[in-house]
Amino acid sequence: MPAIVLARFCYLLADLRPLILDKVVHDILVLYYSQHGATAELARLIARGIESVPGCQARLRTVPKVSTVCEASEAAIPANGAPYVEKSDLAECIGLALGSPTRFGNMAAAMKYFIDSTSGEWMAGALVGKPGCVFTSSASLHGGQESTLLTMMLPLLHHGMLIVGLPYSEPQLAATQSGGTPYGVSHVAGVQNKRPLSQEERQLALAQGKRLAEAALRLHPAL
């Protein structure tokens, strides 16, 4: 009798296995640094785009600030917003969206500081073969957005990632009068960093998250 019950259970499990697998959700890391909130808002919209794809969920993470004052330090847990990133987040994700405001045409020091600490993950191949994308925000239209996006791609390429851009099949890319590039979504925040995201910028952020998630599932169909 126990053998019959066990056999019946195995048959039932085989029938349910596709349903169980359908409910597996994979994490895509959305890692950002934001000082005035614009990059954080882009990150949240990208996360929404990721989660519009069945089987994917966004893991929002940030990095601590850095200071030229050696005695200054950040709390282990941020007072508000996303948790701080851990190295294990890189290994556990199936894709990565990396965002930073523009600092003289480059990413912010806080993000660069974290990336420079990932040599162990680089040697282990934690990100090899995974898709990645980049996003940024600047005060002015010609404040170095494209160079910032391109320089953020370089460490991702060193990690063996596959870059997911933002093509002109997204109609908002041709219509935008502010942020938005084929290298990644962007935002023009204004000199006082108070300008809200335009409708085109918001739609492009959603589209970029969706594209990243779809690419991740195509690259890892067995997951």
State pLDDT tens for residues 153-192.
999 999 999 999 999 999 999 999 999 999 999 999 998 8
Condensed to tens digits (0 to 9), the pLDDT of residues 16-45 reads 444 444 578 999 999 999 999 999 999 999
pLDDT at 75 over 80: no
Note whether residue 16 is domain-resident.
no
Burial of 71 (0-12, 13-18, 19+ CB in 10 A): exposed
What is the span of the domain harbouring residue 83?
Answer: 26-65+75-219
pLDDT computed for residue 76 by the predictor: 64
* Helix spans in 140-198 (H): 145-158, 172-175
Note whether residue 6 is domain-resident.
no
Task: Report the amino acid identity of residue 217.
Answer: L
- 51 φ/ψ angles, rounded to the nearest 5 degrees: -80, -5
Note whether residue 3 is domain-resident.
no
CB atoms near residue 26 (< 10 Å):
19
pLDDT computed for residue 213 by the predictor: 98
Query: In angstroms, what CA-CA distances link 111 with 7, 66, 96, 220?
Result: 54, 9, 14, 27
Let me know: does 156 contact 134? Beta carbons within 8 Å. yes
Alpha-carbon distance of 2 to 91, in angstroms, equals: 42
Alpha-carbon distance of 131 to 127, in angstroms, equals: 8
Note whether residue 123 is domain-resident.
yes
**Cα-Cα end-to-end distance for the chain:** 37
Note whether residue 10 is domain-resident.
no
pLDDT computed for residue 20 by the predictor: 44
> Sorting pLDDT into bands at 50, 70 and 90, what band is 193?
confident
Maximal C-alpha separation, the chain: 77
pLDDT computed for residue 144 by the predictor: 95
pLDDT at 71 over 80: no
pLDDT computed for residue 178 by the predictor: 93
Note whether residue 190 is domain-resident.
yes
Query: What is the rounded (10 degree) CA torsion for 171, 178, 38, 85?
Result: 60
For residues 78-104, average pLDDT: 93
Q: What DSSP element (H or E) covers 62? A: strand 56-62
Mark residue 122 as left, alpha or beta (left: phi above 0; alpha: psi -120 to 50; beta: remaining).
Answer: alpha
Note whether residue 11 is domain-resident.
no
pLDDT at 8 over 90: no
Q: What DSSP element (H or E) covers 161? A: none
CATH of residue 163's domain is: 3.40.50.360
pLDDT computed for residue 41 by the predictor: 98
pLDDT at 93 over 60: yes
pLDDT computed for residue 5 by the predictor: 44
Alpha-carbon distance of 166 to 11, in angstroms, equals: 46
Note whether residue 91 is domain-resident.
yes
Domain tally, the chain: 1
For residues 63-74, average pLDDT: 72
